[in-house]
Amino acid sequence: MTTPSTNAAFELAALAWGSDSEDPRAEAALRRLGRAHREEARADLSRVHPTWLVRAVQDESPAVRAIVAGLGPPSVQAALRAAFGAPSSPDRRPHPEVLEWVLALWSERLVGGEPERDDDPPIIVALARLSPLEAYRLWHGVGRAKRRLAEDPGQAPEVRAWIQRDVETVDRAGFGPRRRTALLGLTTAARLLGDCEPFRSRWAVQHLPYPVVKRLRRFTPPAAKRSASISRLEARILRMVWKPLAREGKLATPFPNAVDREEP
Amino acid sequence: MTGEPSALDVWSDLPRVDRRTLALERVASAWLGPGPLGSLFVWLGALPGLDLALDRPEVDLRAAGIARPGLVAQLRLPRHGARLALGVEVPVAHAVVDHLLGFDRPFAERRLQLTPVEWGVWTYLVVRSLEEMRPNPGFSVDRVGPDPFDASGLGPIATIRWAVRAGETAGAVRLWLPESLAEAWLGAEPPPRTPKPHSPKLRELAADWRVVAGRVTTPRGGLGALRPGGVLPLTDPPLTGEPNAPVGPLFLVHRTDDGGERRIAVTVDPGSTRGAVVVSGPLVHEPSPDPGSQPAMPSDADAPLDAPVTLTVELGRINLPVSRLADLKPGDVLPLNRHGREPVELTSNGRAVARGELILIDEELGLRVTNVFL
C-alpha cells in the first residue's frame, strides 16, 4: 500500500468533508484516509532500535526511568534494563494518571509508519529492511566503491573532488579502516535521505543505532547545497553495489524494482 | 537600618499586568462570540464527531512556546503585510484527526510525532476554517507542518493561548502575532458597547453623535483599492487649517430611525489637548428624502468592492444624553471620544472601513490611510 503524502491527504480530506456527503468518492476518500492514519499513527517499537528508547529517557529523572523500565512496554523495559541496569523497585505503585503521563512523555521523539510501502526509495528499503549484518555489507561495499571512484583517473575531476571530500571527512572520524569504509558508505545514505520525504526518512533512521544516526546527520548536506546530479550518482553507486550482493546471496532483499524501472 | 529592604523593594516583586495585555485579552475573548472566529467554531463544531471546547484566552507579550513541537499553521495577512502563526499542541492535533477518522489512540501514544496524513487533514481544516470566517479578514495560508514559526524580522511577538479540550484530550492552541498587528487589532476592534435600556423615544436622542469632517471618494478599484499608506483628498467639503485643528464646515450628525439626519454645526476646539468640538450652530433636522423622488441606489455597504464609494470622515463620536442635548447652546464645548492626535475613521453607513490620519496637502487637508478593516 502507498500512504498518501501531505498534499494527497489534503485532497482526500477536501473530498471527504468538502463534497456532498452522498458522493461515493467522499466515502472512499474517508476510508482511505482512515486506513492511512491507522498505518502511520502507531509506532511499532519492535522496529525501533533500542538505543532510541534509551535516548528518549536518558535525561529523565531516575524515578521516571524506573517507572518506564519497570512498567513500560516489554521491548522498552529490556532496552532500558540493558542500558541502565535493573531499576530499583518503587515503594508503591505510581498513581495511574501519573503513570499514563510518564509512559506517554517518553515517546514524543518517535514516529509511526507502515512497514512496507510500494513507493519506498532504495535508501529507505536499505535502512528499514536489511538486517544489521546485511546493512554493514551494503555500506561497506558502497564505501569501497567510492574509494575506487575517488582514485579513478577516468572520472571527472569534480566527481573525484567531492568523493575525496567525503573520504577526508570520514578519515578524520578516527575509526579503524573497516569502520571508516562503512562510514564512507553511510555518507551516500545521508545524501540520499536528504532527498526523501522527511517523515519517512525519520521513520527509516529509527531502525539504526541512535549514535550512528547522529553521525549520519553530520554528513547530510543542507538543502541549499544539495545537487541533483550528485544524488543521481549516489543512487547509481548504491544500485551498482546492491545488485551483485543480492545475486551472491549476501543481501536477502533484492534491489527495489519500482525504482529500477524509473532508471534509464 | 542598613540591610533592611525598603518598602519599594518589598512591593517591587508584585505581579503586574500590562494594560495592553488586558485589552488584547478582551479582543481575543470577543473573537469567540459572533464574528469571524465565531463562524469558524460553528463550522468546526459541525464536523462529525468533533467535540471541541476552548477556554478563555491568556495573553503573553512575548513569543511563548514558539519552539514547542506541534502543528504550526503559518498565515499571512497581506493587507497588513504581516505574518502570524497558529500552533496546535501535538496531543490536540492528534485528537482532532483521531476523532474525524475514527481512530482510538492509546493514551501512551498521544505525543508521537504528527504524520503527513495529519498535516494534510489539518491543512484542509485550516484552509476551510479561514474560508468560513465571516467577514473574511483576508488571511492566506503559507504552510502547515511541524516546522516552528519563523518570526524573524517581525519585531516583538505576542502570544494568545487558549486551553483546549478536544474530546478527552486537553492541550493548548497558541496564536503568535507581531505586536504591531496586535496594536492594530486593538484599535480596530474596541469592546462592544452595551446599549442602555432607554425607551424607544429617548433612544433616538440619547445615542452616538458623529463629528463628520466631510467625505472622500475611494480611488479606482473602490474599497478593494484602499491600502495602508494611500492618500485621499478631502473633497466634500474641502478643509483647511492644521491636521490637529481643521477649519471648515464640521457637523455633529445623528441619523434618525426614519432615515433623516439631525445636524449641529461645530468647530474644533483649538485650545483642547484632548479632542473636543465647540457648538457653533443650532440643531437642524433634515428629513429623509422622499423615496419616490429619487431612483433607488444601493448602499455603500452593499456595493461591490471595486465600485467607487464615497466614505465619511469621522473625527470622533459623542454620546449625548437627552438632558444635555436640550440645554445645548453655541459656545458649549463637547469632548470627543478621541484624542486630537489619534487617527480618524473612514465610515460607510456608520460602519468603520478604514482608519487614517489627517495630513496637509498644499493648503488643504487630506487623509493618509493607516488601517483597512475590510
Q: Domain locations in chain A?
A: 49-109, 122-262
Q: Provide the domain limits for residue B344.
A: 200-287+304-372
Total domain count for chain B? Answer: 2
pLDDT of residue B39: 62
Rounded to an integer, the average pLDDT of B18-32 is: 81
The answer to whether B221 faces chain A, any CB pair under 8 Å, is no
Give the C-alpha separation, A26 to B77, whole Å: 32
Whether residues B349 and B215 share a domain: the answer is yes
C-alpha separations of B275 from B319, B333, B344, B364 in Å: 14, 10, 11, 20
Residue B7 inside a domain? The answer is no
The answer to whether A232 faces chain B, any CB pair under 8 Å, is no
B102 interaction partners in chain A (CB closer than 8 Å):
34
Cβ contact (<8 Å) for A41 and B115?
A: yes
Residue A120 near residue A256 (C-beta atoms within 8 A): yes
When mean pLDDT is compared across A9-23, A151-165, B169-183, B324-338, the lowest value belongs to B324-338
Q: What is the CATH number of the domain that holds B21?
A: 3.40.1550.10
CA distance B103 to chain A (A): 7
Mean residue pLDDT of chain B comes to 76
Give the C-alpha separation, B360 to B362, whole Å: 6
> What are the contacts of A184-187 at 24+ separation with CB within 8 A?
A184/A142, A184/A143, A184/A146, A184/A147, A185/A138, A185/A139, A185/A140, A185/A141, A185/A142, A185/A143, A185/A144, A185/A146, A186/A139, A186/A143, A186/A212, A186/A215, A186/A216, A186/A219, A187/A146, A187/A219
Final residue belonging to a domain, choices B120, B155, B188: B188
Whether residues B247 and B312 share a domain: the answer is yes
pLDDT of residue B49: 63
Cβ contact (<8 Å) for A104 and B98?
A: no
Whether residues B247 and B345 share a domain: the answer is yes
Final residue belonging to a domain, choices B168, B188, B208: B188
pLDDT digits (tens, 9 = 90+) for A143-200: 999 999 988 888 888 888 888 888 888 888 778 888 889 999 999 999 898 888 888 8
B116 interaction partners in chain A (CB closer than 8 Å):
3-6, 9, 40, 197, 199
pLDDT digits (tens, 9 = 90+) for B149-173: 988 888 889 999 989 888 888 899 8
Whether residues B207 and B78 share a domain: the answer is no
Whether residues B33 and B174 share a domain: the answer is yes
**pTM, entire model:** 0.61
A14 Cβ neighbours under 8 A, 6+ residues apart: B124
Give the C-alpha separation, B206 to B198, whole Å: 8
Check pLDDT > 80 for residue A49: yes
pLDDT digits (tens, 9 = 90+) for A59-96: 888 888 888 888 888 878 888 888 878 777 667 788 88
Residue B294 inside a domain? The answer is no
Q: Among A3, A37, A71, A201, which would you mutate to test the B interface (most chain B Cβ atoms within 10 Å of its Cβ)? A: A37
Whether residues B181 and B47 share a domain: the answer is yes
Check pLDDT > 70 for residue B272: no
Scan for cell 475611494, then name that residue: B218
- A5 to chain B: closest CA residue: B116
pLDDT of residue A205: 92
- A4 to chain B: closest CA residue: B117
More confident residue, B326 or A66: A66
The A residues from 95 to 134 touching B (CB cutoff 8 Å) are 100, 103-105, 107-113
Check pLDDT > 60 for residue B200: no
CA distance B113 to chain A (A): 5
B276 forms bridges with which residues in the sheet? B335
Cβ contact (<8 Å) for B117 and A108?
A: no
Final residue belonging to a domain, choices B160, B188, B216: B188
Mean residue pLDDT of chain A comes to 84
Q: Among B89, B115, B130, which would you mutate to test the A interface (most chain A Cβ atoms within 10 Å of its Cβ)? A: B115
Whether residues B324 and B232 share a domain: the answer is yes
Nearest to A103 among B94, B108, B120 (CB): B108
Residue B167 inside a domain? The answer is yes
Cβ contact (<8 Å) for B101 and A34?
A: yes
pLDDT of residue B190: 41
Cβ contact (<8 Å) for B123 and A40?
A: no
Check pLDDT > 80 for residue A234: yes
